[in-house]
Amino acid sequence: MSNTDTEDSTPGRLRIDKWLWYARFFKTRSLAAKLCNDGGVRLSGAVVTKAHAAVKPGDVLTFAQGRHIRVVKVVALGSRRGPAPEAQTLYEDLAPPVPEERLQDPYRAPGAGRPTKRDRRAIDALQSETD
């Protein structure tokens, strides 16, 4: 019998794309596979270039997810893509994502967006004085 998605050839191991999908880091398994094939995942420090790379409990995965770099330790393999509380038992988050408010540009003052019409007129007046 050929090796299919439902059976794994090595006991105690699971395909990395399947595990990332089970753990709900990616919405589809094909997105997880694409990231793996593009070399966007590190497995215990080594770059993964194939989605069929095997993970086992104790491995550390590093990958980008949106604007965050995720570092997770594989705790369990799982057998299905279940609800979020079940998926969270599959890993230990070693570097939790940074809150959005800390990702903002530190040099920009709060509320310093586009100039108002009044500000724009003042800027134009200053520029015309220097000309």
pLDDT along the chain (131 residues), means of 10: 48 90 93 92 91 92 87 92 92 76 57 78 85 68
53 CB-near residues (< 8 Å, 6+ apart): 15, 16, 36, 43
Q: Which pLDDT does position 18 carry in this prediction?
A: 94
Q: Which pLDDT does position 118 carry in this prediction?
A: 86
Instruction: Return d(Cα 69, Cα 77) in angstroms, integer.
Output: 21
Beta pairing class for 68-74 and 41-43: unpaired
What is the CATH architecture assignment of 14-98?
Roll (3.10)
Burial (CB count within 10 angstroms: exposed 0-12, middle 13-18, buried 19+), residue 31: middle
Q: Which pLDDT does position 7 carry in this prediction?
A: 46
Q: Which pLDDT does position 4 carry in this prediction?
A: 45
Q: Which pLDDT does position 106 carry in this prediction?
A: 54
Query: What pTM did the predictor assign?
Result: 0.67
Query: The tokens of 17 are what?
Result: 């794309």
The domain ranges of the chain are 14-98
